Structure 1
Amino acid sequence: MITFTSYPTQQDYSAHSSTKHHPDVAEDVHMDLYDDEAFAAGAKLTLPGEYLTSSQAFMRGHGTYVNDEEVIASVAGTVERVNKLVTVRPVRTRYNPEVGDLVVGRITEVQPRRWKVDAHSRQDAVLMLSSVNLPGGIQRRKLESDELQMRTFFEEGDLLVAEVQAFFSDGAMSLHTRSLRYGKLRNGQLVVVPPILVRRLKSHFITLPCGVDLILGLNGYIWISKHVKESDQEGEDGFDAEAVYSNKNDDIDTATRIAISRVSNIIQLISAHFMPLTGAILLEAYEWVVEQDCGTKDLFQDDLGDALITSLRARG
């Protein structure tokens, strides 16, 4: 026997008609938007549907919308303000490049007079042959012989650090390595974090006291390597071409290997707790680990990892 059950035809949508406001977060973000010093002290996290500020006092930007004269967050991320423009930078998103940004990338393809580079963006970046330093003089013209030897400079899989120079008509970024600080990367380890955690700093080249160099790429690629003096790369023509484009790693002692692994674990732990990565924070974290005499793998234990994060937040 078949029976039919009737359901009410009217539903109560009142719970969804108004924007949900978090009682703790919304008020804090709203106050900080008016307080320049408090807002600059640190990024404020917000969730979709959170009230940010009044649309009469601020203009809405990306990641927000206006409802009943209120600026509401449409994505989860950090609140950013430029004058009267309020935006929300999503937590999980591809890198959005700007001219002058320092990025770490990986060569994906060698093409005529150019390389394709994976830079954690929406499309591959382009490194032109005319935008790299070549043996025989930094400013010399690129010849046909240089084009035939492109794989001796960069080949598929090579890691490099470069600067965003310009953008093509299709939106792809053009990179350049015309500096002794840029070029192929060796003697280290790559760590990938969300790009939102890497802030724009005065210098993205950091040297820790443990003999480890850090390159904080704004695209979320972080390179951790053995410390190399700048004078070691200089040659008769301004730079040592064999050292700059060599694919062979140097001999790394055990202590440096342990330091690189320890810094890598620290970065992964900090990024897992969604804390910004700056030179000061990384230095404090490394000093704390040394004081606690933690092993390389000990940081992934819940008690030590939580203790490190608590210490960093207390100092910040």
Structure 2
Amino acid sequence: MDLAEVEYDGGARLTCPGDYITSSQAFMRGHGTYVENDQVIASVAGTVERVNKLVTVRAIRTRYSPEVGDLVVGRITEVQPKRWKVDANSRQDAVLMLSSVNLPGGVQRRKLESDELQMRTFFEEGDLLVAEVQAFFSDGAMSLHTRSLKYGKLRNGQLIAVPPILVRRLKSHFITLPCGVDLILGLNGYIWVSKHVKDNDQEGEEGFDAEAVYSSQNDDIDEATRSAISSVTNIIRVLAAHFVPLTDAILLEAYAWVMDQEIGTKDILQEETSDFLVAALTSSRE
């Protein structure tokens, strides 16, 4: 199938090393490809991407390449003076500066020495958080910030890791499913599945609830919500195993299909059920 003869559909075409992609006379080769006998050949396993006349192959198994403004989910790995180190599934740990977080009370002010002494009351090793890529340091490390009520420490849920290539860029990476489950699709491949929190529960009169935002104690979660979180997590595992791109529309459709078929939480991971799920999603989009 030559790219010059068909309209490219935006990243769904998979290729393996050595596969013919297109003619080198019609297109320019990019990363993940090489030219042999006037043909552009894939050098890695991944998805074919095209920008005008430039053809590249984005590897399936690769580290996350951050961009400013990306939403990421990470885990605190180290507390240092005036900063935290964060595992964000990239080539090196990201950095969250003390000056880049909200302080209790929601007051915007200079960070004092007393704030530095209390850093572990905000985030400590092992804590999960959602943040935004703010900038890059000279060594290429990400600089994160959580200066928004949408960002901060994560509780009441479960983390799942998928290849970053599967998480598409969306208008909003905060998704609420009808079953009372919230999803945060980190562009770095870390996805957070948690119980739904109402917007007015996150915002007080002063716009900031220190105890809720920096608390490490999970709330009581009823059995139905726990089951829903597990079902959504298993759906994501199935879609990732079949290399299905993760978007809000696909996740909503997949969950609706599972509910319509009245499939149990554990049964979602069975090979026959997962194949039927992916087939149903594929047929609905043809």
**TM-score using structure 1 length:** 0.87
Q: What's the counterpart of residue 172 of structure 1?
A: 141
- Whole-angstrom distance in 2 between the partners of 1:216 and 1:30: 34
- With CA pairs under 8 Å and 6+ residues apart, which has the higher RCO, 1 or 2? 2
Matches within 5 A, 1:87-236: 87-236=56-205
Whether the 8 Å CA contact 1:29–1:44 is kept in 2: the answer is no
Displacement of 1:47 after TM fit? 1.0
- Whole-angstrom distance in 1 between the partners of 2:82 and 2:103: 13
Bigger drift between 131-140 and 149-158 goes to 131-140
Displacement of 1:30 after TM fit? 5.1
Displacement of 1:28 after TM fit? 5.2
Q: Which has the higher Rg, Structure 1 or Structure 2? A: 1
**TM-aligned CA distance change 1:28 to 1:302, over 3 Å:** farther
| 3-state SS, counterpart of residue 95 of structure 1 | coil
Instruction: Tell whether 2:255 aligns with 1:271.
Output: no
Whether the 8 Å CA contact 1:199–1:277 is kept in 2: the answer is yes
Q: What's the counterpart of residue 24 of structure 1?
A: none
| 3-state SS, counterpart of residue 105 of structure 1 | strand
Q: What's the counterpart of residue 7 of structure 1?
A: none
Q: What's the counterpart of residue 9 of structure 2?
A: 39
| 3-state SS, counterpart of residue 270 of structure 1 | helix
- Whole-angstrom distance in 2 between the partners of 1:176 and 1:226: 24
Displacement of 1:83 after TM fit? 2.0
- Whole-angstrom distance in 2 between the partners of 1:152 and 1:31: 59
Q: What's the counterpart of residue 243 of structure 1?
A: 212
- Whole-angstrom distance in 2 between the partners of 1:288 and 1:239: 38
- Whole-angstrom distance in 2 between the partners of 1:83 and 1:140: 47
Unaligned 5+ segments in structure 2 are: none
Deviations 1:258-296 (A, max 9, x none): 000000000001111111111111111111111111111
- Whole-angstrom distance in 1 between the partners of 2:51 and 2:244: 22
Identity of aligned residues (%): 79
Unaligned 5+ segments in structure 1 are: 1-26
Deviations 1:39-80 (A, max 9, x none): 23x521111112222223222211111223322111000011
- Whole-angstrom distance in 1 between the partners of 2:47 and 2:170: 17
Q: What's the counterpart of residue 226 of structure 2?
A: 257
Number of residue pairs the alignment of both structures matches: 285
Whether the 8 Å CA contact 2:2–2:22 is kept in 1: the answer is no
Matches within 5 A, 1:43-54: 43-54=12-23
Deviations 1:228-251 (A, max 9, x none): 012112124321111000001111
Bigger drift between 117-126 and 300-309 goes to 300-309
Structure 1 residue identity aligned to 2:165: I
Instruction: Tell whether 2:31 aligns with 1:62.
Output: yes
Instruction: Tell whether 2:252 aligns with 1:283.
Output: yes
Runs of 4+ in 1 over 4 A off after TM superposition: none
Deviations 1:4-48 (A, max 9, x none): xxxxxxxxxxxxxxxxxxxxxxx155534xx2xx423x5211111
- Whole-angstrom distance in 1 between the partners of 2:267 and 2:259: 12
- Whole-angstrom distance in 1 between the partners of 2:250 and 2:2: 24
Whether the 8 Å CA contact 1:166–1:174 is kept in 2: the answer is yes
Deviations 1:206-226 (A, max 9, x none): 000000000000111000000
Deviations 1:63-121 (A, max 9, x none): 11122332211100001112222111101111111111111000000000000000011
Q: CA RMSD in A?
A: 1.3
Q: What's the counterpart of residue 306 of structure 1?
A: 275
Structure 1 residue identity aligned to 2:47: T
Instruction: Tell whether 2:79 aligns with 1:79.
Output: no
Structure 2 residue identity aligned to 1:230: D
Structure 2 residue identity aligned to 1:50: D
**TM-score using structure 2 length:** 0.96
- Whole-angstrom distance in 2 between the partners of 1:85 and 1:133: 43
**TM-aligned CA distance change 1:289 to 1:210, over 3 Å:** same
Whether the 8 Å CA contact 2:195–2:229 is kept in 1: the answer is yes
- Whole-angstrom distance in 2 between the partners of 1:159 and 1:271: 22
